[in-house]
Amino acid sequence: MSSFRRPRSAEIVSLARRELGLALLAGAATAMLPARSAWSQAGAAKTAPAAASLYTVEMIVFRNSGSAAGEDTTAAGNEFLQDSDTGGNDGARSARFGELLPATRRRMSDVAARLNAAGGHKVIAHAVWTQTASAWNTGSSIPVEQLGLSGSGLTGVVRLERGTYLHLGFNLVFAPSANTRYTLAQIRRIKLNERQYFDHPALGIIAQVAPRGSEEPG
């Protein structure tokens, strides 16, 4: 005689419930895979390095017309390493030039006009551009030729650096003639949207740095 026994109704119901439960668990696990993958992608996006900030820099270079012709003031204003920043680097390893902006984007056109009208000064260069800041104390700089500031005998570089604080510096030479040479080399901590005056017996700079996109013509 066969030992086969027909399953009871209760056993059939229990078996069906068990199979249904396994199917539901498998479906739930499958449904979780895209969500977990998306979560992993989101986590990777959060840990990706942020793009370097872009700044708008405006700079007016002017000459004090009362300075003596032929005087060598190379040492005057030679304070290029006057500041220090012990904090961590918060900029790109090297400064990256963005673009020259038109005169309509200048915020200090009124300042340049007043300097020229005062009689004791003469604006020799005025430009506005965008760039990133380099990491602090890397020595990365942008030549004035690239910034549209090389007219009237002006040569040198501009430095924008970011450590714990933002720093702006210049190493400029103004040689209007063969017998006249002025050097301005300074760097200092600055605040965004605040006008900075770099002093020199014969040469001066007024500069302003703003986050890209926040500038408004003034």
Phi, psi torsion values for 172, nearest 5 degrees? -120, 150
Q: What is the pLDDT of residues 56-110, one digit of tens each?
A: 999 999 998 765 444 445 544 444 444 556 555 556 789 999 999 999 999 999 9
Distance, in Å, from the CA atom of 100 to the CA atom of 45, rounded to the nearest integer, reads 32
- What does pTM read for this prediction? 0.69
What ranges in the chain are assigned the alpha helix state H? 9-47, 109-118
